[in-house]
Homo-oligomer: A and B are copies of this chain.
Amino acid sequence: MLEDKNQSRTSLEELGEFGLIEHLTKNFSIQHKTTVLGIGDDAAIVDFKEGQTVITTDLLIEGVHFDLSYMPLKHLGYKAVMVNLSDVYAMNAAASQITVSIAVSNRFPVEALEELYEGIHAACKNYKVDLIGGDTTSSNVGLVISITALGEASPETIVKRSGANENDLLVVSGDLGGAYMGLQVLEREKEVFKANPNNQPELEQYSYIVERQLKPEARQDITAILKELNVVPTAMIDISDGLSSEILHLCKASNLGCQLFEDKIPLDPQVINVCEEFNIDSTTIALSGGEDYELLFTIKQEDYPKIKANPSVSVIGHMTHEREGKHLITRADTKIPIIARGWNSLSNGG
């Protein structure tokens, strides 16, 4: 589907470990005044005297988290950074630095890693983040990517999962389920391609959801909008595993229950259409699909007027006393318990 058989191939041994790092990172520039020293020493140095630092890390394994048969390496590099930045924004912090470690087997030529780093570079540029370190090593199997992201925040505006209160409104950015349905389409096209390699995939009508899967954007813009609107969420989390799983995390951390209204869950028309095509319930996909990297947060009721006209966010429910439980109120006005059916990488994988 994507492999270009004519690409030039430079073996990793030709460069060696240190040469490879230098080669892959030579175009990365330092943009943050907090970055004192980047790549090239035993450790990087940052200076966060003016606020607190948030740190998050993610580990992505080929065959578990991504499939290179439909994930271009450039997109993978971009997405791997997004996954981490999304966690930084979920703290209401400003992402500032990342480290990137990769393990690769010899089947990857240098050119493949250049593509991966092109995506990482684009992410660093678009989100104004400095690449300050990492590790490059060999893998006896596939590709492994481990990214750690740092961000800055002031103690007054940092947002944890645990700060929600009874009657706070539950708000989500963007729309849900697209990334998961994009994956379903890509998986189907992969099977078609395996059966007949001359068959060219037709993805045009699925462009939005395929892009949601292959090139998600972390919602830095939402943290900027909230700042502009002078709204500090009481609790926040990013949606990596699916709405139901993340709601339960917020409820647990804040010792609360909640009511989520099915008819308020934002869905893109393409998601609704593709769910019909695949004969899957779109609410189930929004609740359990995962990888949307939207932000889910709670705000005080008094902040509602500030956000109600904003098309980037939707109020989907409210928090309740813990004893009232966590419920989905369906379109038919029935009340069903929310359970975590989120994407669980421990049971999905090998």
Complex CA distance for A300 and B106, rounded to whole angstroms: 43
- A146 in contact with B45 given A57-B135, A344-B16, A346-B137 (CB within 8 Å): no
The answer to whether B59 and A144 touch across the interface, beta carbons within 8 angstroms, is yes
- Contact across chains for B135 and A59 when beta carbons are under 8 A apart: yes
Q: Please tell me which one of the listed residues B44, B106, B146 contacts residue A56 in the complex, with CB atoms under 8 A apart.
A: B44
Q: Chain A interface residue count: which class?
A: 35 or more
Q: Among the listed B45, B136, B142, which residue makes an inter-chain contact with A52, where contact means beta carbons less than 8 Å apart? A: B45
Q: Does A138 contact B (CB under 8 A)?
A: yes
**Interface pair A54/B64, CB less than 8 Å apart:** no
Answer whether residue A251 sits at the interface, using C-beta atoms and an 8 A cutoff.
no
Which of the residues B17, B43, B134, B139 comes within 8 Å of A64, measured between beta carbons? B139
Q: Which of A147-185 contact B (CB under 8 A)?
A: 148-151, 153, 155, 158, 160-162
Within 8 A of B (CB), among A81-103: 87-88, 90-91, 93, 97, 99, 101-103
A166–B114 alpha-carbon span in the complex (Å): 37
Report which of B16, B91, B101, B236 forms a contact with A57, defined as CB distance below 8 A: B101
A161-B41, A253-B41, A346-B16 are contacts. A53–B46 as well, Cβ < 8 Å? Answer: yes
Roughly how many angstroms separate A101 CA and B61 CA in the complex, as a whole number?
12
Count of this chain's copies in the oligomeric assembly: 2
Q: Does A191 sit at the interface, judged by CB under 8 A?
A: no
A43–B138 touching, CB < 8 Å = no
Closest to A60 in B: B137
- B45:A53 contact, CB within 8 angstroms: yes
Contact B46–A139 (Cβ < 8 Å) = no
9 nearest CB pairs, A to B = A138-B349, A140-B350, A43-B56, A146-B146, A42-B90, A43-B54, A59-B101, A42-B87, A63-B140
Residues of A within 8 A of B (CB): 12-13, 16-17, 20, 36-37, 40-49, 52-59, 61-65, 87-88, 90-91, 93, 97, 99, 101-103, 105-106, 132-142, 144, 146, 148-151, 153, 155, 158, 160-162, 236-238, 253, 344-350
